[in-house]
Structure 1
Amino acid sequence: MATTEHQAQRAGQAEGTGETGHGHGHGVSANADRKWLGLALGLIVAFMTAEVVVGLIAGSLALISDAGHMLTDAASIVLALIAIRLAARPARGNYTYGLKRAEILSAQANGITLLLLTAWFVYEGVRRLIDPPPVEGLLVFITALVGIAVNVAASWCISRANRSSLNVEGAFQHILNDLYAFIATAVAGGVILWTGFARADAIAALIVAALMAKAGWGLVKESGRIFLEAAPAHLDPEAIGGELAAVPDVVQIHDLHIWQITSGDTALSAHILVKPGADCHAIRQGVEEIMRARHHLEHTTLQVDHTTPEADDEHCDHPHGRTYRPQP
């Protein structure tokens, strides 16, 4: 956390604003991420070019589908690199969080691309099951074996980057699915080579499509949760609201929000009403410590007010979400 942010936090506490600071960090730097992603990109582009040529010569849908998948791999890494650079820009102007969610846009684009490719490969795979064209099994088998080696190397490169980022995880899922696809293609090439069963190529393409659908849906779902500002899956707002309401001298909790700014960057805000005469600052610090120790929530913004005997049952006219009170 920058010195100026520490100073602002201390000043805010001294003035009784009731807002906490926050600290974020990732185990791998953005520069390291870019290096490993760049290495993976070079491997993929070089092999993809060769695979397109071999796929056309061999007449293999499995190889062409793998090449198409590798094109999305390359695109996903390019998007990830762009998103990392955008996310590193400081917050300014109307973008008060900066451009951190560029990473989530990249992840969602990766997921949607995988789902679109799934539809096309399913169509082509079914068509080739019905009317299988001739396929050069030896070329398919050898190319797929090389593809396995390339994807193992690329997967290793990306695994060295910060996979807590949904953006990097999206690129990793692309590469990992391509590795599985090459394994299926190698099996198909071997079957065609030794048995002459040409439909094995289409079956391999359908297996690839199923793997792509699973990975694509996972990315779209997770990125969609962040865009809709849902609480992270591992945090239960109902349970946390109950915990906060159980803090001594707390009368009511409302406007409780838990959301992710981007991958691994979770925030919480809440309006807390306490008994007349209670120490607002001590209660706020206690709530912060509960969130930090039990839920690893460092980024919290808390408004703490005293209630009065004359106050209405609801402090705010239109609170957002459920109101939590101490259990009798």
Structure 2
Amino acid sequence: MSSHSHHDDHDHHDHHDHSHVPKVNQANQKKVLLSFVLIFTFMIVELVGGLYAGSLALIADAGHMLTDAFALALAWAAFYFGQRQPNNRLTFGYIRFEVLASLFNAMTLFLIAFFIIYEAWQRLTTPANVMPWPMFIVACAGLFINLLVLWIMTRGETENVNIKGVILHVMGDLLGSFAAIIAAVVIGLTGWAPIDPILSVVVALLILRGAWKLIRKTSHILLEGAPDEAAPTLIRTHLLEHVSGLSDVSHIHVWQISTGFTLATLHIRAVEDAQAKQVVRAVEVALQEKFSIGHSTIAIDWADEPSTPNCLLSDVVAHGDSSGTAHPHSH
């Protein structure tokens, strides 16, 4: 039976930061709040302009901007609540709120895309009069606002799934503004009105593609899947090759609480029991430096104890499959 103590004396915590509260969210909060003000204000302008010009492209883009404004408000709330301290009920705090916000944003992208496609079909079957040049002016203004917001959102950290979700919303708006400009020019020069709903559908399909990618990423985190760059097989191979005094690594579980916050539990066996403490520390350093895992729980399998064959991932590691359900040990 293996030991499940987390390196009993805990001296290795001295060089690891186990804080569960993100430190980079202040900058994210500010840029999200500024972007919200810009998007919400122009959304009203674009909706009025779309109704006046009779343009589906503008109305659809205004609807998308409304979901953007909501997504930005949700993102701000995620960063705000995410910085609250852990407690007895939520031992990691509220940092996973940002993943839930990102998933909700992706779902709203699906809804707005299907709404645009439905409205485009209605327009194609029942053409409407469009005033191209007012549409052109509003679309150009929308393009400027979206470029400004995109510039703001891409400053600093962009790997956060919440920020990625917001950027996808803004990219959808940007495409919507481009489509509205092109449609306005074509209608103004040729009078061919179907270009308006047709380009709206193109934008909707691009939005769906981005939303699907975001849902896959956030769902993987919520299912506690291992990051691609920190699969159990990769971890085991790296540790055995680079940590001296290490005899075996088993029972590896890796998962994410939130973007950039990866945890791992594993068993190690040292060549000699007397080296176990030093080997644990070396494993922690290797996990941090190679895989950015700053929060690890390491159990020691002593020489006089057989390895447990029934662990969930024992067969996974043996067969080179990185899939599996996380099963964390008590920390």
What is the TM-score of this pair, normalised by structure 2?
0.86
Asked if 1 retains the 8 angstrom alpha-carbon contact of 2:21 and 2:93, the reply is no
Q: Which residue of 1 aligns with 2:325?
A: none
Aligned with 1:197: secondary structure?
Answer: coil
Kindly indicate whether residue 311 of structure 2 is the aligned counterpart of residue 319 of structure 1.
Answer: yes
Kindly indicate whether residue 259 of structure 2 is the aligned counterpart of residue 263 of structure 1.
Answer: yes
Return the offset for 1:21: 3.2
Once the two structures are overlaid, the 10-residue window that deviates more, 12-21 or 123-132, is 12-21
State how far apart, in whole Å, the 2-side matches of 1:113 and 1:23 are: 34
Q: Which residue of 1 aligns with 2:290?
A: 294
Return the offset for 1:13: 6.4
Q: Which residue of 2 aligns with 1:9?
A: none
Select which of 5, 15, 18 maps to 2:9. 15
Q: Structure 1 residues 141 and 28, CA, compared in 2 at 3 Å: closer, same or farther?
A: farther
Asked if 2 retains the 8 angstrom alpha-carbon contact of 1:22 and 1:298, the reply is yes
State how far apart, in whole Å, the 2-side matches of 1:16 and 1:96 are: 19
Asked if 2 retains the 8 angstrom alpha-carbon contact of 1:129 and 1:202, the reply is yes
State how far apart, in whole Å, the 2-side matches of 1:189 and 1:298 are: 53
Q: Structure 1 residues 294 and 67, CA, compared in 2 at 3 Å: closer, same or farther?
A: same
Select which of 276, 299, 305 maps to 2:301. 305
Asked if 2 retains the 8 angstrom alpha-carbon contact of 1:255 and 1:322, the reply is yes
Asked if 2 retains the 8 angstrom alpha-carbon contact of 1:17 and 1:303, the reply is no
Select which of 214, 227, 230 maps to 1:235. 230
Q: RMSD of the alignment, in Å?
A: 2.4
Return the offset for 1:130: 3.1
Q: Which residue of 2 aligns with 1:281?
A: 277
- The one-letter code matched in structure 2 to 1:31 is Q
- The one-letter code matched in structure 2 to 1:125 is A
Return the offset for 1:320: 2.2
State how far apart, in whole Å, the 1-side matches of 2:150 and 2:263 are: 31
Q: Which residue of 1 aligns with 2:38?
A: 43
Unaligned runs of 5+ in 1: 1-11
Return the offset for 1:273: 2.6
Aligned with 1:39: secondary structure?
Answer: helix
Identity of aligned residues (%): 31
- The one-letter code matched in structure 1 to 2:227 is P
Aligned with 1:96: secondary structure?
Answer: coil
Return the offset for 1:305: 2.7
State how far apart, in whole Å, the 1-side matches of 2:87 and 2:18 are: 19
State how far apart, in whole Å, the 2-side matches of 1:16 and 1:184 are: 59
Asked if 2 retains the 8 angstrom alpha-carbon contact of 1:181 and 1:207, the reply is no
What is the TM-score of this pair, normalised by structure 1?
0.87
State how far apart, in whole Å, the 2-side matches of 1:111 and 1:120 are: 14
Asked if 2 retains the 8 angstrom alpha-carbon contact of 1:18 and 1:302, the reply is no
Aligned with 1:234: secondary structure?
Answer: helix
CA deviation string 1:159-184 (max 9, x = no partner): 23532211122112111221111011
CA deviation string 1:84-142 (max 9, x = no partner): 01100011011111010000011000101101111121122123223322211112111
CA deviation string 1:244-284 (max 9, x = no partner): 34544444322211111111111221111334534111111
